[in-house]
């Protein structure tokens, strides 16, 4: 996933050599649009492709997203072209300066933390290799701390109504932009709130209309690429409330329900890891911080300042369950979740279609 933007904007692009995993229609294109459909995993697309004829008409295959399979980390890797170990946004909720920061909202238990943790200091790399790429995304996201962290240097083109996405993409292409980035979050929201069912299917049809409209507005020689940040797993009410004797060894929690980090009390890491493996090893991979570093879960190397943003023991679920943290709850129970490393969450589409130039 992190290779998409460098492949499209890097020095070998535009009649150069593209990676083998890049869909064939990209080769030789004059302009490119990258549309992110938040939460549309490859397995979910295959299961529902009959509802999405526009996407079904496109060429491509599955690619892998990053660890953890969560929006804050994955969108940052897409935009910067970097691994999580390089950009440092290592999860939905991560340790920073002695507190747990919600990266999407840039808040902690102490409120808004933009002044305390300036986004440009926490994630130092510009988006899109430093090019001022137009970003078509919801207007309410413009100027947010997370936007500053992962899209810094881009040019915001906000939409208030979803029906404007394709029109605004078309306007940017007509103005001569070679690359346009667009984002739509409806699939992810619907899966979280409603799970896989009639509401989800209605949302897929709606999202496919957005794709169809974007295809229609492509000028000759332009290509549309569609990908996602992660897939989904339906968890429902299968929430695991950790046993009190284990939580007695835990100072605080971070991450999210399917990639839960436990921050051990002083000297308790080994005991906590062993107890968690004995209690929950049949439903989750139980790994220590050092293990994920040694196994390069987040990239080839993890600098010490970034390693401190992780917990000591991670519970990474492979069963359709999530681990509860009272500090990580909202107004409703999430039906579908993500964050873990199962195929349903890791595999995402990379599809493309090009409008042929007039002869």
Q: Decide if 95 is inside a domain.
A: yes
357 pLDDT above the threshold of 90: no
State whether 111 and 50 are in the same domain: yes
Domain boundaries, position 162:
4-231+341-354
Question: How many domains does the structure of the chain reveal?
Answer: 2
Dihedrals phi, psi of 64, to nearest 5 degrees: -105, 145
**Residues 331, 204 within the same domain:** no
* Model pLDDT, residue 10: 81
CA-only gyration radius of the chain, Å: 20
Instruction: Locate 21 and state its tokens.
Output: 């995993």
CA–CA gap between residue 35 and residue 50 (Å, rounded): 20
pLDDT tens digit sequence for 274-311: 999 999 999 999 999 999 999 999 999 999 999 999 99
What pLDDT band is residue 14 in, cutting at 50, 70 and 90?
Answer: very low
Alpha-carbon gap, residue 37 to 227, rounded angstroms: 6
CATH number reported for the structural domain that contains residue 19 in this entry: 3.40.720.10
The span from the CA of 9 to the CA of 130, in Å, is 10
If asked whether residues 326 and 350 sit together in one domain, one would say: no
Give the predicted TM-score (pTM) of the model: 0.96
């Amino acid at each position: 996933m992190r290779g998409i933007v460098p492949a499209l904007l890097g020095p070998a692009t535009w009649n150069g050599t593209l990676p083998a995993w890049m869909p064939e229609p990209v080769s030789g294109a004059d302009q490119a649009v990258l549309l992110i459909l938040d939460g549309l995993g490859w397995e979910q697309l295959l299961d529902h492709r009959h509802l999405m004829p526009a996407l079904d008409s496109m060429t491509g295959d599955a690619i892998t997203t990053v660890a953890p399979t969560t929006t804050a980390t994955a969108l940052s890797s897409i935009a910067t072209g970097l691994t999580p170990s390089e950009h440092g946004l290592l999860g939905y909720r991560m340790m920073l300066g002695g507190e747990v920061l919600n990266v999407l909202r840039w808040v902690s238990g102490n409120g808004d933390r933009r002044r305390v943790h300036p986004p440009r200091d926490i994630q130092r790399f510009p988006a899109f290799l430093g090019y001022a790429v137009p970003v078509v995304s919801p207007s309410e996201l413009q100027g947010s701390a997370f936007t500053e962290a992962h899209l810094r240097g881009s040019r915001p083109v906000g939409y208030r109504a979803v029906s404007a996405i394709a029109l605004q993409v078309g306007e940017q292409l007509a103005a001569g932009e070679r690359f346009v980035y667009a984002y739509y979050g409806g699939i992810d929201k619907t899966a979280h709130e409603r799970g896989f069912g009639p509401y989800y299917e209605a949302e897929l049809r709606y999202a496919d209309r957005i794709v169809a409209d974007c295809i229609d507005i492509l000028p000759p020689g332009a290509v549309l690429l569609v990908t996602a940040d992660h897939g989904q797993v339906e968890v429902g009410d299968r929430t695991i409330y950790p046993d009190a004797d284990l939580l007695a060894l835990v100072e605080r929690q971070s991450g999210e329900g399917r990639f839960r980090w436990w921050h051990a009390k002083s000297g308790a890491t080994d005991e906590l890891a062993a107890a968690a493996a004995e209690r929950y090893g049949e439903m989750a991979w139980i790994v220590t911080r050092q293990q994920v570093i040694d196994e390069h879960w987040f990239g080839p190397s993890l600098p010490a300042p970034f390693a401190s943003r992780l917990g000591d023991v991670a519970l990474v679920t492979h069963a359709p369950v999530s681990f509860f943290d009272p500090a990580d709850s909202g107004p409703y129970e999430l039906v579908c979740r993500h964050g873990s490393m199962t195929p349903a969450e890791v595999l995402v589409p990379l599809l493309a279609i090009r409008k042929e130039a007039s002869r």
